[in-house]
Structure 1
Amino acid sequence: MKNHNLFLTPDYRYRLPESNFKKLILSLIILLSFVHVAAQNNINISGTVVDDQGEAVIGASVVAQKSKNGTITDVEGNFKLSVRSNDVLTISFIGYITQTVPVSGKNNIVVTLKENSMLLDEVVVTGFGLAQKKASVTGAISSVGAQELAHAKSVTATGALVGKLPGVNFRQDNGRPGAAPNIQIRNMGTPLIIIDGVQKDSGNLNNLDFNDIESVSVLKDASAAIYGMQAANGVVVITTKRGQKNQKLKVNVNGYYGWQLPSNYPKPASAEDYLAAIIQTETINGTPRTVTKEEYQKWVDKVDEEHTSFDWYKYIWVSAPQSYINANVSGGTEKVRYYLSLGHIDQEGNIRGFNGFNRTNMQSNIDIDITNRFKVGVAINGRIETTDNPGLPGDDYNLPIYGAYNNLPTKKPYANNNPKYPAISAPWAQDSFGWMNYEHAGRYKDQWKVIQINGTAEYEILKGLKARGLFSYWLANRRQSNREYSYKFYEYDKENDVYNVVETGTARYTERSMEMKEELTSNIQLSYENTFALHHVNAVVGFEAKKGTYPRMYALGNPPANGIPYIDKTSLSTFTDGIGNPQTRMGYIGRLNYDYANKYIIELSGRYDGSYRYKRGKRWGFFPSASIGYRVTEEKFWQDVDFLKDNITNLKIRASYGVLGEELGTALSHIVGYNYNDGGAVIDGGLVTGSTVTGLATDNITWGKSKILNIGIDLGFLDNRLNASFDYFNRDQTGLLASRYDVQIPEEVGFSLPQENLNSNYARGFDASVNWRDRIGDVNYTVGGNVTYSRWYVGDRYKPRFSSEWQKFRYQAGNITGRYTDVEFSLVSDGQFQSWEEIANHPIDQDHQGNITLKPGDAKYKDMNGDGLINDADWRAIGYRKGGTPWVNFAFNLALDWKGIDFRADFVGATAYTYVQQGFLRYFDSNKNLSQYLWNNSTRLVDIWDADSGFNIGKYPLALRTRNSSDCTHWPSDFWYTNMTYLKMRNVEVGYTLPQKWTSKVGISRCRFYVSGQNLFSLKNIDIDIDPEITAENGMAYPNMKVVNFGFSVDF
């Protein structure tokens, strides 16, 4: 009976004898007294943390293991803490080896931390619950942590990554509110995004709160094979922050407020220069005058307000604020760990009258150890984001972006300067900026509401053998509402003090769009990890499935008046209802890691993938990869040589090869479909809606494949203060889609042949990085840089055909194996014509009219084939890539810390891509203003009123309103091309952390203030005021703004 439970029924409960009961009570009293005394036996200790050179380590974490109390060192490396007399301190700091020191009743402790600058024990997350020490990584993987991301105050998470990852290219081609840089890995295309183990698109990455990110790992080579489909362009693996075991409650609040300043936008010409260009055109062409000398002189002299140039650039583009605030709580016990975060960002628009973009983010990560073997976790993240601006025809930003040129400098936005009455200020009334606001144009609003719930469970079956499951539900609702008003333009009758309507825009639209995206992801895996003597094994097998539906509804109405916000059946003109476009994918995964003595490392992985896109029998594909690594510095022969051991402290050689799948083609192309509501006919007096066949079905489309080889080396010198890595890669892309041209079908069929997996391309390149980290006195500093070169080549083409050797030469870029892709062809320039006499004596017919259209200052072209005529037979390969990501991208970073003051700077740059000068930077449009840059640098008459006054030859031809792209001086040629090179200061930040001895008095463990800037300046090899990342060649894009922020970060 002694072993029976005390909670059994009275008849079977064990009863203590009275004498034993008294002894038990006495023992409990003595025990409680001892506990009370022990609880009071705390001591106050002080100490100092220094490095191996005796210098103070500022901000080192000091935590007592038993009492759980903690603090950080001040600017002199000192700390004070209340601990138990038998406690153990854990002292840690980034870049140093963590130490544990027993208190042993001491009142003062000095701790020396040893630098660990290589951080080979750093963990790199590669996904599927897998993480590896950096030392054992055999693939080409770049990573960055939360500390580096925190210094880039970007609206988007992608923006915070710019310049920090070798082999990863970023390019922000516009600065619209909420816009993010485009990301590519080694110029391979859009990568796959993994956030906390779940596949997402780049939009979800961009809209993460950068403050919630713990780490980013980028898989650049065949190591991405485990992710199967859509991973051929590389994988970006994101993990969000989580609480840690036995972590003391930590509250962090950080935020900033700043201003966005317009920059890098080509300025329009002033009124006097605009009129001068018109006068010059009329003088050269001998056409009637539209501007008299007297009127022109009034504008030059600015005789009154009516004759003062209106600066449309300054009026349309305004400075605007942006703000950010985030509060997060993290901590943990032995069993429960948590991280909770709430953030909000507000980015107002830089176009006058435009509201901009705002987003609210929520992140909640909770992990619970149910038992020592069974663990569960729940992660919830959500966001609400809104874009708000006036409702304008087409792209709501285009009209204002072009507004500085569409609106003439001799006009003003409002009649009698009254904002209630928009005036016509552009040759096309709709281009007039005065009506582009909420009152006169309407409103466009685009809102996303997104939530994702991840549930995970892990059970340790045996030591090292774990089963893990993940289930994710993602729901995104998008609602777009657009109301475009009719509008009126006015003139002011000063004599009668009335405003008269001179033109009316009658188009009214009310649009509604509702879209829902719903995705379910499940992942089940079994992993095993163990060490046997010098052998270490880590293996995983698993299954992953994903299903998504994407229904959408759209309605367009034409309401009878501006004030009607709804669409009824009488005003409805268009209605579409999407069926949801269901998509299903699944795959089986496997990976094995083995290393011997931490010297010889092998990794094998593979994935058997299936996609809904293809017909049965072609839906599945197997995509394997293998990699090896050799840590030479772990060999005995290396350690036995002092010079090698002391100077080259890390040398790892690695190589990988794999085949990755690519989903190509449209879904279900093996099935004949129909387009409904395509045409129609009247039958028996009624309209019958028509349907058409989508095209010929094909059974010959399946996976494309990318064979990726990577060979790399990692190096560490001088006790790992200097680190470097280099990777060479090539990618052979096969199974690209193309159609056969040599199979004829009757034209009456009305279809072309479907595409098949026929062609191939390949890429070659390298990426490299170097980093130096050291300390001089109290100054810690880091300098690093990286560079990436990647270029695509033409592979196989299905039976290429050419009508002549010239055509073969001319179109080699897309059709000849081994040639570069994206090569620009154009005429080759040979300077400029200096006079009428030179034009008259020129032996080559350049304009196909005996050179009668040529003028001094025009571009002169080389007759490459010597036939006396300039035409497309004289075109040659010129320049590098046009548009997209440059072939060469580089970045360098600088970090300094000194006694609480810190400095960070990130520079990015590129070269080997071609900029083509277009639009307002090349022509004087007949209905618009011209750029001030073009006027200042173009050829001009000495006297704009006298055609015989001679010419001042400028950098560019005459800016004449009657000239456009058809004029021979504007034909495609290297005269208008520049091989661009630039360097941009992407981020810079200066901060100061207040001494802890000040902040601890008010319960603050750390308080930092900073000022930061983005896009403050760029150096480039062109003198045009245009952002080098903007892909709009005429400069007409929403410019990337200069940003200055003032911020703080406080830990409690």
Structure 2
Amino acid sequence: MKNFYRRGMLIIMFLLAMGLLVILAISQAQAATPKICPFLLQKEISGTVSDQDGEPLLGVTVLVKNRQYGTTTNDLGEFTINASPGDTLVFSSIGYKTLEIPIDGNSQIRILLEEDIASLNEIQLNAGYYSVTERERTGNISRVTAEEIENQPVLNPLAAIQGRMPGVEVTQATGVPGGGFDIKIRGTNSLRADGNAPLFIIDGVPYPTNPTTDDRVGKASLQTSPLANIDISTISSIEVLKDADATAIYGSRGANGVVLITTKSAKSGEANYRINIQRGVGQVANRMDLLNTEQYLALRREAYENSGTEPSAAGAPDLLTWDQERETDWQEELFGGTAEFTNIQSSLSGGNNQTTYRAGVGFREDETVFPGDFKNRLFSGNINLDHRSKNNKFSANFAGNYSVNRNELPKADLTLAALTLAPNAPALFNPDGSLNWENSTFSNPLASLEERYRGETNNLVSSATLGYRILPGLKISSRFGYTHINTREDQYTPQSAFDPSISFNRRESSNNHSRLQTWIVEPQLDFNKKLGDFNVSALVGATVQETTNERQVLRATGFNSDELLENIQAAGNTQILFSGNTEYKYRALYGRFHTDYKDKYLLNLTGRRDGSSRFGPGREYASFGAVGAGRIFSAEDFIAKNLPFLSFGKLRFSYGTTGSDQIGDYQFLDLWSATSVSFQGSPGLYPTRLVNRDFGWETNRKLEGGLELGLIDDAVYLSASYYRNRSSNQLIGLPLPGTTGFTSIQYNFPALVENKGWELALSIQNITGEDFSWATNFNITIPKNTLLEFDDIENSPYSTTYTVGESLSIQKGYLLNGVNPETGVYEFEDLNEDGFIGFPDDIVDLVDLDPEFYGGFQNSLNFKGFALDFLFQFVKQQGRTYYQTFGLPGLPNNQPLELLDRWQAAGDNATFQKAESGFGSPYFAFQQLLSSSLTYTDASYVRLKNLSLSYNLPEFAGINSRIYFQGQNLFTVTNYKGLDPENAGSNLIPPLRFLSLGLDINF
């Protein structure tokens, strides 16, 4: 703990020292500037005007305020004008915010104009290697801004985009702090479960999303996410690239889409200090209706009667030895707590025309709803420096984000225990505070909390960009990036975690130390020029990237005392479960050409040549590319004359290929592992993977068409897209017979997967006024996933998993015919009429778990100093029921209240079969039920995902402050009867409902 806070204080001191040095440098530069008396005569004022990326702006109007004269900038962004030292210059240009700058005695002025986001057609989007306006883009890019992110009390960046982007499906896996999220951009492309993750880029640097934690240390059930190590308050925007035109420039890494995370940068001006303090609580939003003690005991006794057996004290303590009147709400006991969280963020920013800076630190602490004092802490620091020379030719930028995540959460998720414990189960603690084992008749669920877990992840993401403008319109630059993720996990299992009647030593200590490093260098040459009616831009570049991953997992046993668990030297036996490292090398050349003719006809050509170390000799390289075209038909004169309400109209089209090498390292090589069996005193080796140097890249061909319409000066803006992605050459394991000694071999299957669908996004500025404004945003996606081809699937091991012509998420199983009124046992459809229900002859396609549609409905209202923002998320889908959670009715597990509708006597027409305590026909029927139509149900929902209400307090002594309330997952409308429909059928804690208050101060 001391090391954690000591490291945090060192980082704070470093960042503050850096910020102070920058401020001192700026102050000295400003002090060296001679002040001119405001009453002197006019003199010549010159300067340059650029956009936020430093690109010169041509044709910017420069006026002397309250005078009748001015000038415009040339193609280098330069201007010259006569004015007095006390005058104010006004800079204006279409698509940019008007800026007023006092001359204040200066003779040289450098101006950066900001895009006017009020104009939808001029919003600048980050496309990775370049930026593009909404008007000119031919690719499909969705965006979430810092303001939308800050309105949500979330920890993970993926939570901030949930329900806000068409074509982007985000599902939260668990409600524990730092828990995992699943993201799919336009569906499932690969047959491999781990082959569908998008590429994440933070400030131009690839960021890994595979967990650095290790299942063997015991945190698998909590599904931690590396993205939770990113301080969400530092994010300026999140862009998601979806179609070929947007993703092809990333080549093999763009098959599943690209997520671009841009952190906040500095702006010139006086030093600004900001502190944001937020405090909140979270709780499980829903409870299940379960049997009470009387109902549960009746079910248990009935099960023994149906089985024709008598309960015993060893097999049925709930019936014979436990208190028959006791009743405990285990949902309240085990996950009914309140998870408090504290979030404190501060930043310092400012600068002059040449150098700007932003430095910040943050701290967040999250608790859980489980009993006990468990916390997840995130300490973060970030710095952004931007410098440009006076002649605007040289530019340099540095962005660094460092965080330390200290995880002291419980090893296990108690949700399953809370749902299935008998309501008359004994108390958790003895009178002396020790765990109660009720004379070895009770498995205490809190035993897992005795196992101490401590994880610490140090995360660094840094990038530096250097650029030099060689000639007007010609710029050379290079980006350097470095990512370092270092994780240390320790888990200690004391003897106190087990029933005292267990005499043998079960003390254990396990440790995981992993280190992942990535460095990347990307030189790039950019060209921009206006040639008559053509605007031409082009770029060429290269990528050199290397990633190393080191990991060692240890297990130690044989400790003589619980107090010695942290001293591995005290162990009687130490075992290395895994020790190794991998290296991934990636090389690429890329290029993009863009031109538009008279601002009406748009054309993009993109190409990339990739090389990956994950493929064998002769298979390392592949080429990808795309074409994008657009037609801005609203620019035609006849449209303006005949359809004056149509302010903007564009048709766009794209087609291209991307690829995927998401198969892990060294998959084409044969693999040997060490065995614990010695031969002549030396450890032996045994083969664990077959060599296959012939498998190659997966390929994804993407087609898209889109229509964009702006009505009434873009007060109404509609975007509609149709997409079709086809992924071929599927990389999956080919199962092998056991006689080969191997389970599978990596292989390119002749399978073709298609994802197609419609995306609609609607934005309406309902009311725009000085005192009141109201804006609405709506998006919906209608996806369709299909396995189009799979040659000879009938004779492949996947014949019982997939069906050609159906979705990859198709679920196969038995058709339930109901409960036989005479026998009280489930009956299923005998498809081959052989008198036996069995696999695979009697299974059919039951349900598609892909959503039918999903989207979001957002409203933003502002009235004077008040702001209200809320988002409804909706999903139409099928999901798994909770039946597999509870087990066979009649066993010593509690059951849902629905089990009251069970068969009890001959002639009953019931939903559920009779209770059973043994291994008779009801037991085997229940096993078939778990793969039947009854285990799927409607899991659609509409959820108030987010609500934010804020008020800007009156300015006082130059201090601007805002007080706000935020809520997350406030309520859900659904017919689903489990805990939560978002991840239906899961036994993990669901997403929590959060309420918080905060204060944001700027001065």
Normalising by structure 2, we get a TM-score of 0.82
- Say which SS state the counterpart of residue 889 (structure 2) adopts: coil
Q: 2:401 aligns with which of 364, 371, 381?
A: 381
Q: Which amino acid aligns with 1:411?
A: A
Contact 1:710 1:727 in 2 (8 A): yes
CA offset at residue 165 of structure 1?
Answer: 1.3
Query: Which has the larger Rg?
Result: 1
Q: Report what 1:404 is aligned to.
A: 418
Task: Please point out which of 848, 858, 869 is paired with 1:880.
Answer: 848
Give the residue type in structure 2 aligned to 1:766.
Answer: W
Within-5 A mapping of 1:778-789: 778-789=771-782
Deviation at 1:504, TM superposition (A): 5.3
Alignment of structure 1 residues 56-71 onto 2, 5 Å:
none
> Does 2:269 correspond to 1:247?
yes
Do the aligned partners of residues 567 and 605 (structure 1) sit closer, same or farther apart at CA in structure 2, a change above 3 Å counting?
same
Where do residues 351-750 of structure 1 align in structure 2 (5 Å cutoff)? 351-372=370-391, 373-390=393-410, 396-398=411-413, 400-405=414-419, 407-414=421-428, 416-419=430-433, 421-424=434-437, 429=442, 431-437=443-449, 441-487=450-496, 502-503=501-502, 506-558=505-557, 559-564=559-564, 565-568=566-569, 571-575=572-576, 578-641=579-642, 644-646=643-645, 648-663=646-661, 665-675=663-673, 677-678=674-675, 680-683=677-680, 686=681, 688-737=682-731, 747=739
Deviations 1:717-772 (A, max 9, x none): 2321111111111112121136789xx99957768665245433222222111121
**1:144/1:636 Cα in 2 relative to 1: closer, same or farther (>3 Å)?**
same
Residues 738, 758 of structure 1: 8 Å contact kept: no
SS in 1 for 2:789: coil
Paired letter, 1:702:
G
- Is 2:150 the counterpart of 1:150? yes
Task: Give 1:938's aligned amino acid.
Answer: D
- The residue matched to 1:727 in structure 2 has which SS? strand
- Residue pair 1:488, 1:503 contacting (<8 A) in 2 also: no
2:946 match? 987
Alpha carbon RMSD of aligned pairs, Å? 3.6
Instruction: Tell me, in whole angstroms, the C-alpha distance in 2 between the residues paired with 1:1029 and 1:168.
Output: 15
Q: 2:973 aligns with which of 1003, 1016, 1019?
A: 1019
1:913 to 878, 888, 894: 878
Supply the distance in 2 between the matched residues of 1:405 and 1:382 (Cα, whole angstroms): 40
Structure 2 contact 481–520 (Cα < 8 Å) conserved: yes
**Mapped partners of 1:104, 1:461: distance in 2:** 30
- AA partner of residue 368 (structure 1): H
Structure 1 pair 570–983 and aligned structure 2 pair: CA distance change class (3 A)? closer
What is the Cα deviation at residue 987 of structure 1?
A: 0.8
Mapped partners of 2:303, 2:629: distance in 1: 69
CA distance in 1, matches of 2:419, 2:713: 59
Letter matched to residue 926 of structure 1: L
Residue pair 2:793, 2:799 contacting (<8 A) in 1 also: no
CA deviations over 1:427-466 (Å, ceiling 9, x no partner): 775x3134444xxx24110110122332211100001100
Once the two structures are superposed, residues 310-332 of structure 1 have per-residue CA deviations (whole angstroms, 9 ceiling, x without a partner) of: 22221111112011111112222
Question: Partner residue of 2:252?
Answer: 229
User: 1:268–1:920: structure 2 CA closer, same or farther, 3 Å change rule?
Assistant: farther
Alignment of 1:773-922 (within 5 A): 773-775=765-767, 778-801=771-794, 811=799, 814=802, 816=804, 818-830=805-817, 832-833=819-820, 835=821, 839=822, 854-855=823-824, 859=826, 861-862=828-829, 873-881=841-849, 886-921=851-886
Provide the C-alpha distance between the structure 1 equivalents of 2:924 and 2:585, rounded to a whole number of angstroms.
48
Q: Offset at 1:796?
A: 3.2
Q: Match of 2:811, as an amino acid?
A: E
- Within a 5 Å distance, the mapping from 1:255-266 to structure 2 comes to 255-266=277-288
Q: CA separation in 1, counterparts of 2:570 and 2:302?
A: 56
Q: 1:920 to 1:733 in 2, by over 3 A?
A: closer
Distance, in Å, in 2 between the alignment partners of 1:523 and 1:351 is: 47
- Does residue 271 of structure 2 align to residue 271 of structure 1? no
Change (3 A) 1:329 1:575: same
SS of 1:578 mapped into structure 2? strand
- Equivalent position SS for 1:563: helix
Q: CA deviation at 1:915?
A: 2.3
- Return the offset for 1:971: 5.6
Question: Does structure 2 conserve the Cα–Cα contact (< 8 Å) formed by 1:247 and 1:333?
Answer: yes
Give the whole-Å Cα distance in 2 for the aligned partners of 1:298 and 1:347: 42
Query: Structure 2 counterpart of 1:227, which letter?
Result: Y
Give 5+ residue unaligned stretches, structure 2. 1-32, 42-62, 67-83, 105-114, 189-195, 210-224
DSSP-derived class of the 1:136 partner: coil
Residues in 1 aligned to 2:768 and 2:36: alpha-carbon distance in whole angstroms: 51
Q: Say how many residue pairs are matched.
A: 888
Conserved in 2, the CA contact under 8 Å of 1:665 and 1:701? no
Could you say if the C-alpha distance between residues 116 and 201 of structure 1 is closer, same or farther in structure 2, counting changes exceeding 3 Å?
Answer: closer
Report the residue type matching 1:823 in the other structure.
Answer: I
Identity of aligned residues (%): 22
Q: Which amino acid aligns with 1:602?
A: L
Letter in 2 for 1:723: Y
Deviations 1:207-261 (A, max 9, x none): 32222111221110112011122210000111111112x3232222112111111
Aligned to 1:28: none
Q: Distance in 2 between matches of 1:298 and 1:701?
A: 62
Check whether the contact 2:669–2:689 (CA below 8 A) recurs between aligned residues. no
Partner of 1:200: 207
Whichever residue aligns with residue 677 of structure 2, its letter is G
Q: 1:362 to 1:678 in 2, by over 3 A?
A: same
What CA distance in whole angstroms lies between the structure 1 residues aligned with 2:197 and 2:890? Answer: 37
Local SS of the residue matching 1:1048: strand
Question: What CA deviation, in whole Å up to 9, does each residue of 1:1-31 have, x standing for no partner?
Answer: xxxxxxxxxxxxxxxxxxxxxxxxxxxxxx9
* Cα deviations by residue, 1:504-525 (Å, 9 ceiling, x for unpaired): 5731111222111121111100
Equivalents in 1 of 2:746, 2:35: separation in Å? Answer: 87
CA separation of 1:898 and 1:921: change in aligned 2, threshold 3 A: farther
Structure 1 Cα separation of the partners of residues 492 and 597 of structure 2: 67
Paired AA for residue 1021 in structure 1: N
* Match in the other structure for 1:52: none
Distance verdict in 2 for CA 1:254–1:180, change over 3 Å: farther
Structure 2 residue 329 is matched with structure 1 residue 311: yes
Distance 1:265 1:207, change over 3 A: farther
Give the secondary-structure state (helix, strand or coil) at the position aligned to 2:148: helix
The corresponding residue for 2:747 is 755
Q: Report matched runs for 1:270-309 at 5 Å.
A: 270-288=292-310, 307-309=325-327
Change in Cα spacing, 1:288 to 1:719, as seen in structure 2 (3 Å) is: same
In 1: Cα distance, 2:808 partner to 2:497 partner: 50
Work out the CA distance in 1 between the residues paired with 2:394 and 2:381: 27
Give 1:410's aligned amino acid: N
How far residue 1025 of structure 1 moved from its aligned partner, in angstroms, is 3.6
Mapping for residues 958-1037 of structure 1, pairs under 5 Å: 958-962=914-918, 963-964=922-923, 966-967=925-926, 970=929, 972-994=931-953, 996=954, 999-1000=955-956, 1002-1004=957-959, 1006-1022=960-976, 1024-1031=977-984, 1033=985, 1035-1037=986-988
Task: Report the counterpart of residue 846 of structure 1 in structure 2.
Answer: none
Q: Contact 1:737/1:758 (CA < 8 Å) preserved in 2?
A: no
TM-superposition CA deviations, 1:1021-1051 (whole Å, max 9, x none): 22x14211124x2x52122111111112122
